Structure 1
Amino acid sequence: MRIQPQKKPSSIRLTPLLLLIALAAVGYGVYLFGSHFEGEPPVIRASIGAAWNPSRETTVQIMDRKSGIRRVQIVVSQQGRDIQLFDQLFEKNIPKTLALPIKMDPRKHRISEGAAVLRITVRDMSWRGWFHGNKAEAVFNTVIDTKPPRINVLTRFHNIYLGGAGLVIYQLSKACPEHGVLVGERFFPGIPGMFKNPLTMAALIAVDHKAGAGIELAVTATDEAGNPAKASFPYHILRKSFRRETITVTDAFLQQKMPEFQLDPSLGEHWTPVEKFSHINQQQRETDNRKLGEIAKTSASSMLWDGTPFLRLPNAAPKAGFGDHRIYLYRGRVIDEQDHMGVDLASVQQTPVPAAQSGVVVECGDFGIYGSTVIVDHGLGLFSMYAHLSTISVKPGQNVRKGDIIGNTGMSGLAAGDHLHFAMILRDQFINPIEWWDESWIQNNITGKIQDIRSLEK
């Protein structure tokens, strides 16, 4: 009789599979345990500063990307009283992030001006803390401030030409992180430190040479609590006409100048010289002027010049004026139009160029259409620019005094002949240099105003 071998139970063959299932179950249990007992607290973000106006909406950002947000409580405490602004327990649709707009009526909640504490408490869905979750708390010690600052404009007259500049001096009732003068849509920040009273500010301002008749000027201020204020003042915008000039672009000029400018081959590999000129005169000019504006955003907070008139290039004849509207012709055809935002002065070739006033060199070197250029910061947002130089005698960061030689005239950049292109810039706006050569104008519009306010402080 033949004995058949006994087959092993199938359970023995299933043992590896059962082991894998058991390991997976254990892993999943560890995952669940770890996720429910995660120990990372929620994140709270709120812009509550040293001063706070609760009647202005503030957004509180809350985030818990692991277990989610369980409960949020927001309480204001003042003089022993707690006022609950928000309290919510989330049991369904557990959020991972929240953006809560917080706003309250101080009168309704009997909140007064003065010290207060804002406390934001958040718990998440973690099982830690005996199933109460991880806790995060943000405490802001602040001052309730609902009153806007008062602005008192101290200077009495402000007569400003199109393309010209002026000075406004004003006093604030309290410290404000942002304040200055709005000229249309342009903002000119006020500068402290020129007077004994730390709340007395001075702002150099400018009116664009193309500004319309209805342009508005006003002093604005926003305090630490975000309360805004605005004050008007007397001003008169004086109209000014600017010359129109026709410039003929010759083939000789194009052959001489266009090779000096290197363009991206993808832009103009097959351009004719006149097409290249049009691009440089438009796009490169815009690029250079934007760069100038960026440079002029950072200026010394004190007046670096001595209050006397700015120097003009000695023994030089004016060749072009500020605001001249130039029409460029090539073979009788108009190819471009641009405004000339400086004064061109010509003397003998490679004439030494003096610094117009004391200041700090902030830029020197090649500057696109302006060629070899030096830019000097005179403080309070005021800069002078010296372009088309043949040589440069200064370096960035160097202090210069009025009359120091900074270079020599030339014809670098987009210049047809040896001359100095002299420009003045206030913040990011070109202004008429002629005013700054005029002693009477400076006395009446700048230094005289400063002297008047300082005399009142004695």
Structure 2
Amino acid sequence: MRKNRSNFIAYSVLFVLIVAGIFMLFSSKSFEREKPLISIEDKIYWNLTSPLLVKITDESGIKSLKISMVDAEHQIILTNQNFEAPMEVLDINLSFPKTGFQSQKKGYTMSIEAVDASKWGFFMGNKETKNVEVIVDSKRPEINILNHSYAINKGGSATVVFKATDERLKELYIETNFGKKFTPSKFYKDDYYASLVAWPATQSSFSADVVAIDYAGNMTKSKIRFFYQNRNYKSSKIKLDNQNRFLNEKIPELAAQYAQNHESMSNLEKMKFVNENLRGANEKLISDITSKISEDIISEFSLKKFYPLKNAKAVASFGDHRYYTFDGQNISESWHMGLDLASTKNASIVTSNDGKVDFAGENGIYGQTIIINHGFGVFSLYGHCNSMAVKTGDQINAGDHIGATGVSGLAMGDHLHFGMIVQGIEVRPEEWMDNNWMKDNVVNILNSSKKMIDGQ
């Protein structure tokens, strides 16, 4: 009896171990059951000249891959590979075969077959197949630049209107030599677009091309031929010393608010933190907010000149490149990307145009800040406010009181930091405070473009 009981226990333990072993074996990565994932659309457009990317992924790794192209008469193998070391991620760049096919045909079928290294399916692995419809499209998009501002100033703005057509248009933007891409708005009628562009004061040169790309990868570029007007901006040296209120009062105040380790920092270290790290974060916030473009169709442009502060005097200019020195050494630098206006203490700030408040809150060196979206990629900014009479999301009308001037942020004296921004680029406020400039460079360009479109 005791022997039978011992045998039963032994067999039971053995059975449990076998079951556990089988479970562990089949639940392991080696026996995974997921088919490879072939990342490509069921229907694609190909210009037959650019490489075509096919991405395949699998947990146990791809051990073989076969891709072929088929038309009504031929089948050609594009790739047929076996991998000694299975690949979890495969990025395959396919080229159209130079022989065996006629590229004039309008379509093909691409067959993709991938097998993974899993031991599932009696060690055969998981197989995935996918047939892709390939539509041949070798025609480039068409771009016709209809009208644009005659000139653009360094630090300033300009307008361009153009027509872009393609049955399968995927991307449309204005590319600059410094990496910024401006997003055009739909203008007036189908296939027409308009955009403001900006030349940053920090960039020594400017050029811009309208770029159109279709789903097949065909690209067209067309240069916007502005007359480029260079402009020299002020360069200032600001001397700091141990008796300086800016270095010993204002900087520590902001560092205490925003720097985690401010207590262990010297005043010069606090200065670098505020003027570089904090400023960088604040300017990124402004850029992020003002880079968002509405998808509304532009037909009219009714903005009037901006005049935010009555009887104000300019106390600091736009584009001032400031160098901060201590004991004769440069310790930090910055660009002043606004126009400082001052009148009386706590002076009323009034908006000159309708818009939507996209931001109203604290923003580091700018203090209490209001950013208003006026459409067509145009934003106005009001910094160093003592108080704000609006909140984020408010719709406002021309003539509304939106706040009062103050000394919040990095301001030493009561004033308004007034900025104008075009699609994330801070530009010369003076242009937007001049009715003649706005008429010549924006309003007239759009109105004359509509007449051209109507006449076509």
Alignment match, 1:3? none
Alpha-carbon spacing, 1:20–1:384, altered in 2? closer, same or farther (3 Å): same
User: TM-score with structure 2 length normalisation?
Assistant: 0.83
Q: Contact 2:42–2:131 (CA<8 Å) still a contact in 1?
A: no
Of 315-324 and 154-163, more deviation after overlay is shown by 154-163
> Cα gap change, 1:124/1:256 in structure 2, threshold over 3 Å: closer, same or farther?
closer
| Equivalent residue letter for 1:140 | V
For the residue of structure 2 that corresponds to 1:167, the secondary structure is strand
Q: Tell me which amino acid in the other structure corresponds to 2:230.
A: R
2:144 match: 152
Q: 1:432 aligns with which of 414, 428, 433?
A: 428
Is residue 383–residue 417 contact of structure 2 (8 Å, CA) maintained in 1? Answer: yes
8 Å contact kept, 1:157–1:234: no
Choose the corresponding residue for 1:257, options 239, 250, 253. Answer: 250
Shift of 1:389: 0.6
Residue among 223, 230, 237 paired with 1:239: 230
Q: Distance in 2 between matches of 1:311 and 1:239?
A: 26
* CA deviation map 1:389-421 (0-9, x unaligned): 111011111112222211111111111111111
Query: Corresponding residue for 2:174?
Result: 181
Out of 353, 366, 370, the residue aligned to residue 370 of structure 1 is 366
Name the structure 1 match of 2:130: 138
**How many matched pairs?**
446
Question: Helix, strand or coil: the match of 1:65?
Answer: strand
Query: Does the 8 Å CA contact 2:41/2:132 hold for their aligned counterparts?
Result: no
Q: State whether structure 2 residue 369 is matched by structure 1 residue 380.
A: no
Of 253-262 and 347-356, deviating more is: 253-262
Counterpart pick for 2:393 among 392, 397, 419: 397
Identity of aligned residues (%): 28
- Mapped contact 2:45–2:216 kept (Cα < 8 A): yes
| Structure 1 residue 267 displacement after superposition | 3.9
Identify unmatched segments of 5+ residues in structure 1: 1-7
Name the amino acid aligned to 1:323: G
**2:411 match:** 415
Give distance in 2, aligned partners of 1:127 and 1:254: 69
Q: Radius of gyration: which is bigger?
A: 1
Which whole-Å CA distance do the structure 1 matches of 2:157 and 2:216 have between them? 32
The answer to whether 1:41 aligns with 2:35 is: yes
Check the 8 A contact 2:185/2:195 in 1, yes or no: no
Q: Which amino acid aligns with 1:373?
A: T
What is the alpha-carbon distance in structure 2 between the residues aligned to residue 438 and residue 178 of structure 1?
Answer: 34
Of stretches 118-127 and 333-342 in structure 1, the one that deviates more from structure 2 is 118-127
Compute the displacement of 1:196 (Å).
Answer: 0.6
Equivalents in 2 of 1:211, 1:288: separation in Å?
20
1:38-83 Cα distance to aligned partner (Å, 9 max, x none): 64322211367642234322232333435x65654434445x4553
CA distance in 1, matches of 2:392, 2:420: 18
RMSD (Å) for aligned C-alpha atoms: 3.7
What letter is aligned with 1:229? T
Please list the CA deviations of residues 345-375 of structure 1 after superposition, one character each: whole Å capped at 9, or x if unmatched. Answer: 1111111111232221111111111111001
* Partner SS state of residue 155, structure 2: coil
Letter in 2 for 1:121: E
Separation in 2 of the partners of 1:246 and 1:70? 65
Q: Which residue of 2 aligns with 1:448?
A: 444
Residue by residue over 1:4-55, the C-alpha shift from the partner in whole angstroms, topping out at 9 and shown as x without a partner, is: xxxx99xx99997788667756766777788898643222113676422343
Q: Paired residue for 2:218, among 207, 222, 227?
A: 227
- Normalising by structure 1, we get a TM-score of 0.83
Residues 305 and 379, structure 1, Cα contact 8 Å, conserved in 2: no
CA distance in 1, matches of 2:280, 2:349: 26
8 Å contact 1:113–1:143 — kept in the other structure?
A: no
* Cα pair 1:54 1:106 within 8 Å, conserved: no
